[in-house]
Amino acid sequence: MSEPASQRRRAFLSATPSPSLLAGLASLLLVTLVLAVAARADDSAARPPASVAPKEAVLTPAKGTAPADPTDLGRGLHYLQLAASTSDTAFAAALAAPALVLDLRLAPTDPAAESRLRELLSRSDATRPLFILLGPDTPAALRPTVPSGPGVLTLAGKDAGSVTSVAIDVDPARDRAAAEALAAGRPPRELVEEKIEKTRYDEEHLAHNRAIGHRDDVTDGSPAPAKPGTAAQPAMPTSPPLQDVLLQRALFIHRGLLALGRIPNHT
């Protein structure tokens, strides 16, 4: 007579597993654990956390980034001061500019500067004007390389010691100061835009004009009367703001050529 099903079930559950079966299960669990850890490590190496940028993204600049251009003066006109530190990207952008102001007032004396100047001159024509600024400190080796043909216009002060297309009456010291300010990083627009100085007109001038019978909105140029009990303050001499007259004249000529339709309009 066979044993009841409940007795057979209790006997099966209470039976001790064989050593070979336990070893096989342990090996299977160990292999599964190793494979899971390896897969997770590979996934972490392939995909870094979002907060950590890949090493290539930090060290390698993005492709397609535009090179640094010379200073844009608007309407296709650019400004470049030829110096020993002029980068290749800035020089390449100057070659591609529709119109260029090339500043040689502080140019270095070396064969590289002369080679770059010759390359810039070879790209000038009647439709791509090249304005060249010269000064007393322009190297003598560079002066003969500057022609006066179509598309090239040289500008210098009257005391610069150069035969130029346009000679401008400018103080040599202030002209050099303007060139040095540009070399130090001063934006060219700050040296070519004229600033209008408005005459101060306040309540003191208004009361003064009414006392002497002048119109309220007209000043006679005289200082306002000093307040009772205060000494009149002497007027402090003010120097005119620094301006680059040569660069400003080149900008005006460029705008004039555009207005006359002599060169293409680049907006």
Q: Report CA-CA distances (Å) from 79 to 47, 73, 129, 147, 256.
A: 46, 7, 12, 19, 17
Is residue 175, in this structure, part of any structural domain at all?
A: yes
Q: How many structural domains is the chain composed of?
A: 1
What is the domain extent for residue 177? 71-191+241-259
Q: Report CA-CA distances (Å) from 212 to 164, 203, 205, 224, 228.
A: 54, 14, 11, 12, 18
pLDDT at 56: 35
Q: pLDDT of the chain along its 267 residues, tens only?
A: 455 656 665 655 455 555 555 566 566 666 565 555 555 555 544 444 444 443 333 333 333 333 345 899 999 999 999 988 888 898 999 999 999 999 999 999 888 888 888 888 888 788 889 999 999 999 998 988 888 778 899 999 998 877 889 999 999 999 999 999 999 999 999 999 866 555 565 677 677 777 777 665 555 555 555 555 555 565 555 678 999 999 999 999 999 999 999 998 886
Report the distance separating Cα 114 and Cα 44, nearest Å: 55
Is residue 41, in this structure, part of any structural domain at all?
A: no
pLDDT at 167: 93
pLDDT at 122: 85
Query: 225-230 long-range CB contacts below 8 Å, 24 or more apart?
Result: none
Is residue 44, in this structure, part of any structural domain at all?
A: no
Is residue 16, in this structure, part of any structural domain at all?
A: no
Is residue 163, in this structure, part of any structural domain at all?
A: yes
pLDDT at 149: 75
Q: First vs last Cα of the chain: how many Å apart?
A: 108
Is residue 107, in this structure, part of any structural domain at all?
A: yes
pLDDT at 55: 38
pLDDT at 60: 34
pLDDT at 46: 46
pLDDT at 64: 36
Q: Which residues contact 240 (CB under 8 A, 6 or more apart)?
A: none
